[in-house]
Each structure stands twice: as structure tokens, then as C-alpha cells.
Chains A and B, each alone.
Chain A
Amino acid sequence: MTERKDMDVMSGLLRIIGPLKWKIVISVIMGILANLATVAMIFFGMMAVLNVIGFKTPLELTYIIICMVSSVIVRSLFIYIEKNQEDNLSLSSMSLLRDKVFKALRRLCPAKLERHDKGDLINLITADIGTLDVFYSGTISQIFIAIVFSAIMTTLIASTNLTLGLLALMSYIAMGLLIPLVFSEIGKRNGTDYRNESGELSSYFLDNLRGIREVQQYDYGESRLAGIGIRTKKLARTEDKLKTLEGFNVSISGSSVMICNVVMILAAALLFRNGEITFTEMALAIVAMMGSLGPCAALSGIGTNLRNSIASGNRILDILEEEPAVDDITDKSAVDFNGMSVKNVMFSYDDVKVLDGISMEIEKDSTVGIMGPSGCGKSTLLKLMMRFWTPDDGKIKISTRDLDYINTSDLRDLEGYVTQDTQVFHDTFRNNLRIAKLDATDEELVEACKKASLHDFIMTLPDGYDTVIGELGDTLSTGEIQRLGLARAFLHDSKLLLLDEPTSNLDPLNEASILKALDETKEGRTIVIVSHNPSTLRTADKVITMENGKTVE
């Protein structure tokens, strides 16, 4: 996690919503007008009192009351427009952020994405973005409103009496700048901790839900429950600190409002007593002060909230600014598939050497088997062939061109890849298949499923291709899931097909029919099959054996 300066986080968050700038401008203007209306309202109220107790006022009592009522109505109108703008701004910003975060995750996938816990990321896109609501819907405009409005009011009060004007200015600065800065500084660590711990709790929950069968099997409920207790407690401790601070902040800012008012009243009273100002001036100065503290008082209470926003903003910027392990390539010329070669490829994962100078040739239109014990680096090699990672040393080439010089989208078109674990979406069979080819026709779907020996099974289901598969495929057998993965690959129909243990969960007969289907469609297709099982590689033209990250004879 990168530590950014608060100002950098805030300007980063503002940059993201660049196109929505004018909404902020409108809400700031409306906010200033609304606050002026508030002052006007109290001002006319005081004038009414003065009028009644026998002071001379510029307006008749009836007009004063009309002005006062109008101020109330106008004020509500301004506030309505202001808040409406702010709400819209905040909702649009959050939509924008969700999109940006998801796009960033797409860019990071898979190499960097693996390093993030899923529960934490869900928390990021829901809770953290939600936290920024306050920032976009209030904090930003409040800051601008407070600055402009305080300047106006200082000038107004100072024009009556310089001392009182200075007093007002000092009050504004104390409330709007000093208090929020101090509290935001004290709460610095806690805000960040809170967001991170909340993400951790989400991840822990997710982990437990995914493994709930095992938790039951090994009677580990108590222990996992205790784990939730510990994490909730830790989160609660941080939250306690934050909220205690918030309570402190609110009580200080509430008291400051009173102190500012009382000081103003006393100062005005003393000046009046010394005959430096008239009674009317005294009354108006007091009223102006009481009516104008609103925006700064709002700022003085946001210190701790701002902390949360900045912590969430920091987490979001971390994801948005994280560099992917490999950059997408876009500006290269198209390439045709004429075989692949792997030369002296070295690769380490977390400082553990996985591939140790491996080389192999994969001729066009051949079927190559890669065999070896589990953990020997077979799967990693396929990932490098997909350019999910790049080799630390050595080269992988398609048609004599280094993968780094092939457009990523061309590479994806050329290569199909069936991973060891097939990911099933909580959706219909049709949609689960369609992700491999978004514009696939029904005929194409059926054909691919027939090749993968899946069609007959789907047809026994009540809704056929429209049957919804349970979460993570829990309504399917492992064999059916694997065949779904293969059907996707058949639908994708690429020149080079990479298969990672494609039949590990199939019985020999089903395996045979899949291998047969692969064999029948191998015309014009190059296939790489990785397996620990010699029988899976029986259709291969060539079998390469791997051990400890290199080939063995």
C-alpha cells in the first residue's frame, strides 16, 4: 500500500471525476446563496425584534416579516438545488469509480489479481466506494462554500466594526481550518486501519463460506467463530478509536460554535458599552455571527469523516495506479500462427524458481503433450504461453515473433486455454458458454457441447440450455464442469489450444470421447496438453517430460 499525502489523495479523487466539475460549481454557488439566505432570515428576525422594542428600522414591520418569510422559502429552494446537485454528483462519481476499479482489475488480471483477496476487493468496490459518498456529496462543495461565504461575511462584519470583523475571521479560521486539520491528523492511522481491517473481515467471511463443508467436517465452527470474534473486535477497537475521536471532534466543534458566539456577544456588548458601536450594530453583528458559522461548523466536524474518505480513496487509488505484471500490446501488426517456440525460459514465483531454462518446439498443426509430476511447472509454462506473466529470462515466440511483439487481442484470438479449474458463473448454461464467443449462435453452442460430450446431459435438464447453474457450479459434478470448460474452448475455436489437465475428472470413456473430439478437430489446429496422466497424452504426436522446471529426456 502506498502512503499518499492527503492532498494528493483528494486531488486524485477530484481528477477522477473531472467531467463532473460543473456540478460542483453549481452546488457551490447554490450553497453560498442558501447560506446568505440563512443570514438574511435571522437578520430580518432581529430587525423585527428591534422594530418592536422601539428602535428605528429601515423597513416597516410588515415588510420585515415578508422579507423574513421569503428568505425562509428562498433558502429552502437553494438548499434543495444544492443538495440535489451534490447527490447526483456523488452517485455519478460512484458509478464512475466502480467502472474504473473494475477496468483496473481487468488490467491487473491474472498475475497481480491473484495477490489480492477477493473479499477485500468486494469490500473495496462496495464499502470503500460507498464511503466516498460523503466526500463527493458534501466535503468538496463544503470546502469551497466555507471559503467564499466566510470571506463575504468577514467583509460585511468588518465594514461595521473592524475589531468584530477580525474576530469573525479568527472564528472562521479556527472552526473551518484548524479543528478539521488537527482531528484529521490525529485520526490518520485509524482511518486507514479501519478500511483495511474491514476488508480483512470480508475476506475472512468469504474464506469461511467457501470452505463451509470443511468447517463442518472438521468441527471447526467454534474456532472460525472465534476468528470472526477476534477480527470484529480488532475492527471494533479501531472503530472505537475513530468514533471516540469523532465524538471528541463533534463536542469540540459544537462547543466552539458556542464559544465563538459567546465571545462575539461579549465583545459586541463591551464595544457597545464603551460607545464604539450602536445598539443596532451590536445586535446585527451578533446575528451575523450566529447565522454565518454554519459552513465552517460543518467543516469542523468532518475531520474524522474525511479520514475515512481519504483512507478509502487511498485504497482505491492503489488499485487504479497499480502496474499490471504485463502491459497489453496494441500497436503491432497481425501475426499468423506458424508454431510456437520456447527458449531457455526462466521464471520464479515469489523467489521460488518454477521454470529453470526450459526449451521446446511446438510445430504448427501438431499435438504436443507435456507430462510431469505435480508442481513441476507445467501449468506455469502454459500461463507464460498465454503471456499472463513474462519470463524472467528466455523467449517464447509464435511464428518467430516474441510474444511481447504480438497484439494482446490477436494473441487471445490465436490461443484458447482450458484451465485446471473451470470457473462456473452463477448463470444459465447458455451464458456460461457464450462468454467464450459472445455472438455464438444456438447451433454453434450445441455443436461445441456435443464435442465436449455435454449436450446430452444438458438436454436431460428441465430448462436445457437455459438451466441456471448453482453458485460455483455446485449443482454440477466435477466431470460436467470440466466438460463445460472444454465446450467453451471448442466454441472459441482457436489456432492454438492449451489444455491443462483437461480430463482429470472424467472417467476413461468420457475422456476418450473428448480426446476423440479433439483429434477430429485438430485439422489446422495446434494443441498443447498438459497432464500427469500418460493416457491423456495418447493422441499427442510428441510428448515432452518435465521435472523441476525443465525438460528431461
Chain B
Amino acid sequence: MINRRLMQLVPEGNKFVALNVLTKWISLLMVIIMISAVSMLIASLVEGTVTDEMIITTIVTAIVTIVVRAFCIYASYGFGNAASITVKKKLRETIFAKLLRLGIGYRDTASTSEIILMSVEGIDTLDAHYSKILPQLFYAILAPVTLAIIIGRYNVECAILLFIFVPIITTVLVLLRMWYKGKISEYWGRYTELGHLFLEGLQGMTTLKIYQSDGYMNDEINRKSEEFRETCKRSLKVQLGSITVMDLLAYGGMAVGILMAVTNLQEGAISLEGCLVIVFLSVEFFLPMRRLGSLLEMAMRGTSASEKIYKLLDTPEPEKKGKMFPLNVEITMRDVNYSYGEKKALKNINLEFNINSLTAIVGESGCGKSTFASVLSGRGRGYEGSITVGDTELSEINEGSLMRNITYVDHRSYLFKGTVRDNLLMGSPDSTDDELWKALEELKMDTFVRENGGLDAPVAEGAVNLSGGQRQRLAVARALLHNSAVYIFDECTSNVDRESENIILDRIEELSYHRIVILISHRLANAVRCQRILVMDDGAIVEEGTHDELLSKHGVYENVWKVQKELESYGKEVSE
């Protein structure tokens, strides 16, 4: 029942466990004192030797012990609670820090919904390890020992006999745990599957509704829900089974204790007072173990969740790189190749990007433009050949430094729930409001933002309260504020109207006077103004030059240009 790894992860929790056990133990002592007092009173009642003084002493003892015990229970809850809070905070932060280091690669290990469930509810299950299970485990060992010593003072035989039950119960617990382990291990897996399907259904609900498939999704969820119910049923059987077994053992032990006491009394081996003490204490004797048995299922559920957490924490991270991004230098690519599995996505690329330059990369969907961007921005790891920034190899540059100096904006850049200001400040945390307004003005977003409450205008989850074009413009504004040495814009204006698109392109061009800017677009018209245009086809750069140069080459570019021009201006006839 001890989760060693967890104890190493959050060593701060251990002292709370110790304090928790201590207070539980003191409260047991109080019970013992009170039982002794009451037994003494009853015994003297029977023997007819009771005095008023005795009754008062018993009342006072009862009050004192009850108060101390109440305080101890309260304190033990407090320690459990303190452990729980420490553990949760630490674990959540550990998980999120790990996710940050993994980046988008986390999805290889766990789905998003799994991580949400693990980080919120899974951790809630785990904290019980510190607040309930561990303390109860130690207490369940300590309590019988203490009680056996007390009972031993009245009658050694009884004490030994009761104590024999302890290893029996422990063995049964261990057996139960082994027996049920397989049945409960899938619990957390099924739970997250259900959560995953639910998140999928939730995200795609509109689409499902359009096609009237929401009922189908509902059935799927019910099916998973049913599977989960079956798993739970098995796991609750564990719970019920262990409770019943523990119950029978505990009451059996108790009955044996009482019988022994009574027999001893009959034989005159113990006094009536001793007999009563043993009777009452044998009830207390098995309570801690019984309680431990009822926590068995919870402990195993926690283990099931913790395994998933460890799996995430054990996911290998990209190696930390030490070199810094050199400033004001050019980027050179030599014989760069890149593949996804067997599929070659970039073929033999040789290029230079000079400082203060604007380069466009054009080509059909699927020609490798986005792969190119992902490799150059350091996200696509494991390229062949060499990419150097000045004299430094790109793959040796520190991640943070890379992110600081290369800004990549694509069509689905994410905006966070919060305000317009929150989102813009991500790009440049020290910016003043004036600077933020300037960025918005440059992208013609200022009017809209002003009408909706200024910089504090709310951005909903997934930015659903903004139109596609507004989202893109806000993402570009944030990127511009980032003020980095290199910019890669990947189809970042796909949902923006022509007029706004031109404004954004003007701004991008201006940006290139002081930086390396790469613009990726499937629309050649966007590339015309660039000093250099690279044409990509099937992972290779097939042509290079200015718009006019490329046209005069009468190659791929000219062809595509003509087709696009025709497509855009004549329309109907061409499409037929």
C-alpha cells in the first residue's frame, strides 16, 4: 500500500503523516483512559462499593478525555489536510513543468483529456495516500500493539490471543490486494477513455449536430460509460469483499476476546473491572484494521492513477542545448534533408537567409512549406545536413533562446481565455498600453477592440467570440510585439479579408528592414513584393528569384502564376 515513488516525489508530505499518526494514537490513549474509568465505575456498581466521589471522578475523566480526543481527531484531520494541499500543489506543478518541457510532444504519451483528468481528479485521488492511507497504515500497526500492552496488564492470554489476529488480518489484506490487482488496474484507463470521448464529443458537437450524428456519439459515450460501469462494479466488489472479510474477522476476533474475558472472569483469573476493560477494548482492537481494509480500493485506484502520472513524468525530454542564438547574423542551410518516417519531406536544401531580408516560400499544399518552417524554427527536430545561424548549428541552440529569437505564426495560432491585453502581453510582458494599442492599430483591430471594452475586452475559451480574421490579426499583433530577430509567417492571413491582408503584408515588409522575415503562402500574389521568392515542389526548392525574374524563367512559377491569375480573374470558365 505504500507508494514509494510518490513519497520521493513529495517528501514534504511525510512529516504530516507522522503528526497524523501521533494524534490518532493520542486519541486512542484517551479512549483507553475513558474505558478504564467507566469499567471501574460499573464494577463498583455491581459490587455495591460506588461512591459519589467516584461518579464525579468518572464524569470529569470522561469530559477531559472526550475533549482531548475531539481535539486530536480535529488535529489529525488538519495534518491530513496540510499533507493533501502540499502534495496536490507540488504534483500539479511537477506535471505542468514536465508538459512545458515536452511541448506538443506530450500527445505521444497521453491525450489532452487524460492529462486534464490526471492533473485535477487523478491528483485528488492520490492525495488520499498522504491524508488517509499512509497514516491509517501506520496507525493500524501501532494501535493493536498499544492495546495488547494494556490488555496484557489485565490478562496476558487474552492479549496474545487478540494479537494473533493481527498477522491473520494483514495476510488477508495482502492476499486481497494481490487477488484484485488485475481487476482494478484498468480502472483509470477506462475512466480517461470516457473523459476523452466526452471531450471529443464536446468539441465536435456542432459538427455532429449539423449532420445529426450527435445521437450516435451519445450512444458511443453510453457504451464507454457502460464499460466503465463494469470496471467500477468489479472494483466495488473488491471493496465490498474486503470490507466483508475484514468485518467477519474483526467481529470474530472481538467475540473471541469477549469470550476469553468472560471465561477468565468465571475462573476468577481476572476482576470484573478487568473483564469489562477487555470486552470494551476488544471492540476498539480491530477498528483501525477494518478502516484500513475499507481504504484498500481507494489506495488501488490511486495506484492506477499514479502509474499514468509516472508514465508521463518518465517520458524522455528533448536534450537541453547550451548555445545562445547569435544576433545579427545570417542563416545558412546546407544539404538539409528531413523525413517523416519513410516519407522524405525536405530534399537537399541549400539556402542563405541574409539579415534584413524578406523571403517568400510558395508552392502547392503538401509541397513541404510547413515542414520547412517547422525545421527552421527548431520545432522539427532531427534534420540531416546543417543549418547554421552565423557559426552556430541550429540543433545546438538552447530552446528558450531559439523561441526568443525566432517567432513562428501560423493560421491556427492559439489565443488564451482572458482579455485582449493578456494575450498581447504574452508577446512582450513589459509593453505599455500605448504600445499595445499601436500594435492593434497597425493591424486595424483597434476599432473593434475599443468597441468591445478596450484592452480588457474578453477573449473566450478558444476565442469563440472573435471571427476567424480577428483571431488571426490578434495573433499577428502578439507576434509583432514579440520583437524577435527572425519571423516566420505561415499562411497567417488565410481568414483575413484582402484589405486587411494588405495591411498585414505592409507591416511584415516593414519588419524585414531590420530582421530576417520568411513569408509562407500558397497565394503568389502575396509574394510579389518580396525581394526573393523560393518555389517549392515535392520537398525541394525548384526555382528562386524575384517575381519578374521568375516570370522570365518560364518555369513552374510562371505556370502557377498564370493559372492563379486566370483562376482569380476569370473564374467560371476556368473552373469548368
Q: Which 9 A-B pairs have the closest CB atoms?
A: A374-B469, A538-B571, A247-B77, A507-B522, A532-B497, A211-B414, A251-B73, A479-B365, A535-B568
Stretch of B39-47, B175-183, B389-397, B540-548 lying at the A interface: B39-47
Given the known inter-chain contacts A122-B116, A251-B74, A478-B411, please indicate yes or no for A375 contacting B470, CB distance below 8 A. yes
B120–A470 CB distance below 8 A? no
Q: Would you call B202 an interface residue if the criterion is a C-beta within 8 Å of the partner chain's C-beta atoms?
A: yes
Q: Judge whether A210 and B112 touch: CB under 8 Å.
A: yes
B381 at the interface (CB under 8 A from A): no
Q: Mark A527-544, 1 if CB is under 8 A from B, else 0.
A: 000001111001100000
Question: Which positions 90-107 of chain A face chain B at CB distance < 8 Å?
Answer: 91-92, 94-95, 98-99, 102-103, 105-106
Binds B, one of A154-162, A173-181, A432-440: A432-440
Assuming A65-B259, A251-B72, what are 13 further A-B pairs, CB within 8 angstroms? A49-B258, A53-B272, A95-B229, A202-B120, A203-B417, A203-B461, A214-B413, A225-B96, A266-B55, A478-B410, A505-B411, A508-B567, A532-B498
Q: How far is the CB of B521 from chain A (nearest CB, A)?
A: 9
A224 pairs with B96, CB closer than 8 A: yes
In contact, A123 and B120 (Cβ under 8 angstroms): yes
Contacts of A379 in B (CB 8 A): 467-468
**B88 and A72 within 8 A (CB):** no
Indicate if the CB atoms of A438 and B213 lie closer than 8 Å: yes
> Do the beta carbons of B576 and A519 come within 8 Å of each other?
yes
Q: Are A52 and B262 in contact (CB under 8 A)?
A: yes
Interface string of A462-475 (1 = CB under 8 A from B): 00000000111010
Contact B103 A244, beta carbon cutoff 8 Å: no
Give chain A residues whose Cβ lies under 8 Å from the Cβ of B478.
218
Given contacts A244-B78, A246-B77, A258-B34, contact A232 B89 (CB under 8 A): yes
Assembly CA distance A167 to B105 (angstroms)? 66
Identify which of residues 87-124 in chain B touch chain A, using a CB-to-CB cut-off of 8 Å: 88-89, 92-93, 96-97, 99-100, 103-104, 106-107, 111-113, 115-117, 119-121, 124
- The answer to whether A41 touches B251 (Cβ under 8 A) is yes
Instruction: Find out whether the CB atom of A110 lies under 8 angstroms from the CB atom of B205.
Output: yes
Which residues of B sit under 8 angstroms from A80, Cβ to Cβ? 240, 244
Contact A122 B199 (CB under 8 A): yes
B191-A126 in contact (CB<8A): yes
The reply to whether B218 and A106 contact each other, CB–CB distance below 8 Å, is: yes
Q: Does B436 contact A (CB under 8 A)?
A: no
Asked whether any CB of chain A lies closer than 8 Å to the CB of B69, the reply is yes
B32 sits at the interface (CB 8 A): no
> What residue in chain A is nearest B422 (Cβ atoms)?
A223
Is B226 interfacial (CB 8 A cutoff)? yes
**B334 proximity list for chain A (CB < 8 A):** none
Please tell me which one of the listed residues A207, A409, A425, A516 contacts residue B461 in the complex, with CB atoms under 8 A apart: A207
On chain B, the residues within 8 Å of A424 by CB distance are 204
Do A125 and B198 touch (CB < 8 A)?
A: yes
With A232-B88, A539-B572 as known contacts, state yes or no: A265 contacts B42, CB within 8 Å. Answer: yes
Q: Is B513 interfacial (CB-CB < 8 Å)?
A: no
B320-328, B346-354, B401-409: which lies at the interface: B401-409
A333-391 residues at the B interface, CB under 8 angstroms: 349-350, 352, 372-375, 379, 386, 388
Interchain CB contact under 8 A, A535 and B576: no
Which residues of chain B come closer than 8 Å to A164, judged between CB atoms?
none
Give the contact stretch, choosing among B155-163, B303-311, B488-496.
B488-496
Q: Which of A502-540 contact B (CB under 8 A)?
A: 504-512, 515-516, 519, 532-535, 538-539
Contacts of A166 in B (CB 8 A): none
Q: List 17 A-B contacts (CB under 8 A).
A: A48-B259, A68-B255, A76-B247, A110-B205, A127-B121, A205-B96, A207-B461, A209-B99, A239-B85, A244-B81, A247-B80, A255-B66, A374-B496, A388-B206, A435-B211, A501-B495, A539-B575
Tell me the chain B residues, 315-344 only, with Cβ under 8 Å from chain A.
Answer: none
Find out whether the CB atom of A218 lies under 8 angstroms from the CB atom of B427: yes
Residue on B nearest A379 in the bound complex, by CB = B467
Contact indicator per residue, chain A 436-467, by CB within 8 Å of chain B (1) or not (0): 11100000000000000000010000000000
A119 CB-CB contact with B under 8 Å: yes
Q: Tell me the complex Cα distance, A409–B216, Å.
A: 14
Q: Which of A2-10, A15-23, A81-89, A185-193 contacts the other chain?
A: A81-89
Q: How far is the CA of A474 from the CA of B370 in the complex (A)?
A: 13
Contacts of A45 in B (CB 8 A): 255, 258, 279
* A425 partner, pick from B97, B204, B262, B275, beta carbons under 8 A: B204
Q: Chain B residue with minimal CB distance to A203?
A: B461
A428 contacts the other chain (CB 8 A)? no
The reply to whether A501 and B62 contact each other, CB–CB distance below 8 Å, is: no
User: Please, which residue of chain A has its CB at the minimum distance from the CB of B473?
Assistant: A374
Assuming the contacts A225-B97, A266-B59, A409-B212, asked whether A504 and B207 have C-beta atoms less than 8 A apart, the reply is no
Quick one: which of B207-245 are within 8 Å of A by CB?
207-218, 221-222, 225-226, 229, 232-233, 236, 239-240, 243-244
Q: Are B214 and A109 in contact (CB under 8 A)?
A: yes
B121 x A214 contact (CB < 8 A):
no
Is residue B355 within 8 Å, beta carbon to beta carbon, of the partner chain?
no
In the complex, A260→B496 CA distance in Å? 75
Task: Return chain B residues, CB-CB under 8 Å to A209.
Answer: 99, 106, 112, 115-116
How far does the alpha carbon of A349 sit from the alpha carbon of B413 in the complex, in Å?
A: 24
Q: Which of chain B's residues has its CB closest to A210's CB?
A: B414
Q: Are A225 and B407 in contact (CB under 8 A)?
A: no
Is A395 interfacial (CB-CB < 8 Å)? Answer: no
Q: Is the CB of A91 within 8 A of B498?
A: no
CB distance from A267 to the nearest CB of B (A): 12
Q: Is A421 an interface residue (CB 8 A)?
A: yes
Using A76-B247, A501-B468, A532-B469 as known contacts, say yes or no to A470 and B107 having CB atoms under 8 A apart.
yes
> Does the CB pair B210–A386 fall under 8 Å?
yes
Q: How far is the CB of A122 from chain B (nearest CB, A)?
A: 6
Main secondary structure of the interface of A (DSSP, over half): helix
Given contacts A251-B71, A478-B494, A504-B495, contact A207 B470 (CB under 8 A): no
Whether A229 sits at the interface, judged by CB under 8 Å, is yes
Contact call A269/B364, Cβ cutoff below 8 A: no
Taking a contact as CB atoms under 8 Å apart, the answer to whether A423 and B411 are in contact is no
Does A551 belong to the interface (CB within 8 Å)?
Answer: no
Q: Which of A122, A236, A422, A501 contacts B202 (CB 8 A)?
A: A122
Determine how close the nearest CB of chain A comes to the CB of B47; give it in whole angstroms: 11
CB <8 Å contact, B244 and A519: no
Question: Which B residues from 1 to 50 make CB contacts under 8 A with A?
Answer: 34, 38, 41-42, 45-46, 50
Q: Which of B81, B194, B570 contacts A243 (CB 8 A)?
A: B81
On chain B, the residues within 8 Å of A349 by CB distance are 465
Q: How far is the CB of A398 from chain B (nearest CB, A)?
A: 16
Does A248 make an interface contact (CB < 8 A)? yes
What is the CA–CA distance of A463 and B70 in the complex, to the nearest angstrom? Answer: 65
State whether the Cβ of B386 lies closer than 8 Å to any Cβ in chain A: no
Within 8 Å of chain B (Cβ to Cβ): is A412? yes
Chain A residues contacting B275 (CB-CB under 8 Å) are: 49
Q: Bound complex: CA of A125 vs CA of B173, how far in Å?
A: 33
Interface assignment of A316: CB less than 8 Å from any CB of chain B: no
- Which partner residue on chain B sits nearest A535 by CB separation? B568
B460 at the interface (CB under 8 A from A): yes
Across-interface contacts of A386 in B (CB, < 8 A)? 210
Choose from A248, A258, A422, A436 the contact partner of B69 (Cβ within 8 Å): A258
Instruction: Find B412's partner among A352, A478, A479, A515 (CB 8 Å cutoff).
Output: A478
Contact B575 A114 (CB under 8 A): no
Partner of A217, one of B195, B403, B467: B403
Q: Select B115's contact among A205, A388, A519, beta carbons within 8 Å.
A: A205
Residues of B within 8 A of A106 (CB): 205, 209, 214-215, 218
Q: Let me know if B200 is at the binding interface, CB within 8 A.
A: yes
**Given the known A-B contacts A99-B218, A109-B214, A423-B203, are A216 and B121 also in contact in the complex, defined by CB atoms under 8 Å?**
no
Contact assessment for B195 and A512 in the assembled complex, using a CB-CB cutoff below 8 Å: no
Residues of A within 8 A of B196 (CB): 426
Q: A262-B62, A374-B497, A534-B568 are in contact. Are A438 and B216 (CB under 8 A)?
A: yes
Bound-complex Cα distance A243 to B408 (A): 46
CB of B202 within 8 A of CB of A88, answer: no
Q: Across the interface, do A53 and B572 meet the contact criterion of CB distance under 8 Å?
A: no
A225 touches B100 (CB 8 A): yes
